[in-house]
């Protein structure tokens, strides 16, 4: 079992009176790929900058291997940061850019040359030592920024939306490159993004944040299949999120119809939020459905069809299926009990922000 490498303990941070992080606690294990995921302004980049030493928390501690490093400057911490703007030096060639940190540490010339060759091989840019920064594509510049970070042998690599400026195909290629590099290097990655697909693709652990709070932390599978609240369900992938009533254990009423489910412990006749993923909605003959509706929208997405089915009360169900249902057809809606996720309904806006789910 890998041990905790970094612990953020009771971290709070405000800017100009606006609370950005509120009593945040987070543990990161060694050799883990952790992604901080959330919308703009949720506090994810501020969290990364506090770990890196670029921001100082108002309260709380940053613990590294059991030692409080809260007061250490960035250059004294065993980590390196790759920013969205790669901050390469245009007046230096690629080798000089990569060697910059090593030269500051007065490393021997032969050591530096070996490290440059190793780093360029790792990022699949062998032979680029004498190229200029301006001659590289965005994706190549991003790789050089990573190479410059890893030659310093950090225990932790912090990445602040490093793929944000790349086009879709290049971004997807770089996702796989980062996964490969992480495995080869055996170091801890802490990655910031607002891109859900990116987080699901690369992470061992996803930390979903909103309004300065951690909403949920878990594996990509847990975050997607078992969201703990409506925010997480809505932010990670597409969802049908409906108000419902938990009639009793394993039975929930949605839009006036009773659906069997597997959840227990919510009490009787309790208002709840219900999450059903669009791929888990089965369209069947009307007489076989728990609800009926009319297919009102159809788009072919390549892998599947995306459809909307409107029920008599006006709710538009989002449905993903490999089977096409033509617009105008009446259908039944069936959902397997295991695919219905029940969550407590927040009692207030404050509780909704905090992500309380007892």
Which residues, in sequence order, are CB contacts of 189 under 8 Å at separation 6+? Answer: 32, 33, 34, 156, 157, 159, 178, 182
Does 177 share its domain with 211?
yes
C-alpha torsion 123→125→130→134, nearest 10: -80
Does 243 share its domain with 323?
no
Does 49 share its domain with 109?
yes
| 230 part of a folded domain | no
| 233 part of a folded domain | no
Q: Which band of pLDDT confidence, cut at 50, 70 and 90, is reported for residue 28?
A: very high
| 209 part of a folded domain | yes
pLDDT for position 23: 93
Tell me what percent of the residues of the chain surpass a pLDDT of 70. 95
State yes or no: pLDDT of 86 exceeds 70: no
| 231 part of a folded domain | no
Does 288 share its domain with 353?
no
Q: How many domains does the chain have?
A: 3
Does 179 share its domain with 295?
no
State yes or no: pLDDT of 141 exceeds 90: no
Q: Which band of pLDDT confidence, cut at 50, 70 and 90, is reported for residue 62?
A: very high
Digit-coded pLDDT (tens) for 165-193: 677 777 888 888 888 888 888 889 999 99
Does 77 share its domain with 204?
yes
Does 258 share its domain with 350?
yes
CATH number at residue 321: 2.40.50.140
pLDDT for position 182: 85
The mean pLDDT of 47-67, rounded to a whole number, is 95
Does 293 share its domain with 200?
no
Does 16 share its domain with 137?
yes
State yes or no: pLDDT of 201 exceeds 70: yes
169-208 per-residue burial string, b: 16 or more CB within 10 A, e: under 16: ebbeebbebbeebbeeeebbbbbbbbbbebbbebbbbbbb
> Is 277 in contact with 349 (CB distance < 8 Å)?
no
The mean pLDDT of 6-26, rounded to a whole number, is 94
Does 18 share its domain with 96?
yes
Query: Domain of 143?
Result: 4-225
> Is 335 in contact with 240 (CB distance < 8 Å)?
no
pLDDT for position 84: 66
| 71 part of a folded domain | yes
| 145 part of a folded domain | yes
List strand residue ranges (DSSP E) for 137-250, in order: 156-160, 188-193, 205-210, 213-218, 240-248
> Is 52 in contact with 188 (CB distance < 8 Å)?
no
pLDDT for position 140: 85
Does 103 share its domain with 133?
yes
Does 92 share its domain with 179?
yes
Q: Which band of pLDDT confidence, cut at 50, 70 and 90, is reported for residue 358?
A: very low
Digit-coded pLDDT (tens) for 298-352: 999 999 999 999 999 999 999 999 999 999 999 999 999 999 999 988 765 555 5
Tell me how far apart the 2 most distant CA atoms of the chain are, in Å: 78
pLDDT for position 251: 97
pLDDT for position 353: 56
| 232 part of a folded domain | no
How far is 249 from 179, CA to CA, in rounded Å? 42
Q: What is the pTM of this model?
A: 0.83
CATH number at residue 28: 3.40.50.300
| 147 part of a folded domain | yes
The better pLDDT of the pair 321, 144 is held by 321
Q: Which band of pLDDT confidence, cut at 50, 70 and 90, is reported for residue 357?
A: very low
């Amino acid at each position: 079992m890998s041990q905790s490498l970094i612990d953020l303990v009771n971290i709070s941070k405000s800017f100009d009176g606006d609370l950005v992080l509120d009593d945040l606690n987070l543990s990161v294990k060694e050799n883990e790929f952790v992604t901080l995921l959330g919308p703009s302004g949720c506090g994810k980049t501020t969290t990364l900058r506090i770990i890196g030493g670029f921001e100082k928390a108002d309260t709380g501690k940053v613990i590294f291997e059991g030692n409080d490093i809260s007061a250490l400057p960035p250059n004294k911490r065993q980590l390196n940061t790759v920013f969205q703007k790669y901050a390469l030096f245009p007046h230096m060639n690629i080798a000089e850019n990569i060697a910059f940190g090593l030269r500051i540490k007065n490393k021997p010339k032969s050591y530096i040359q070996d490290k440059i060759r190793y780093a360029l091989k790792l990022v699949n840019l062998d032979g680029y030592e004498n190229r200029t920064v301006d001659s590289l594509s965005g994706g190549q510049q991003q790789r050089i920024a990573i190479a410059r970070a890893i030659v310093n042998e950090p225990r932790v690599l912090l990445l602040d939306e490093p793929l944000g400026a790349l086009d879709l195909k290049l971004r997807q290629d770089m996702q796989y490159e980062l996964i490969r590099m992480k495995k080869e290097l055996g170091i801890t990655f802490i990655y910031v993004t607002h891109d859900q697909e990116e987080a699901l693709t690369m992470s061992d652990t996803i930390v979903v944040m909103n309004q300065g709070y951690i909403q949920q932390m878990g594996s990509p599978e847990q975050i997607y299949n078992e969201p703990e609240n409506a925010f997480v369900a809505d932010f990670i992938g597409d969802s049908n999120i409906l108000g419902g009533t938990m009639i009793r254990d394993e039975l929930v009423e949605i839009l006036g119809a009773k659906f069997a489910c597997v959840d227990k412990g919510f009490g009787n006749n309790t208002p709840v939020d219900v999450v059903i993923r669009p791929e888990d909605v089965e369209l069947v003959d009307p007489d076989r459905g728990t609800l009926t509706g009319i297919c009102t929208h159809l788009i072919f997405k390549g892998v599947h069809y995306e459809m909307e089915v409107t029920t008599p009360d006006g709710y538009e169900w989002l449905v993903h299926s490999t089977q096409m249902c033509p617009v105008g057809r009446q259908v039944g809606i069936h959902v397997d009990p295991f695919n219905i996720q029940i969550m407590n309904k927040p009692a207030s806006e404050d509780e909704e922000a905090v992500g309380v789910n007892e």
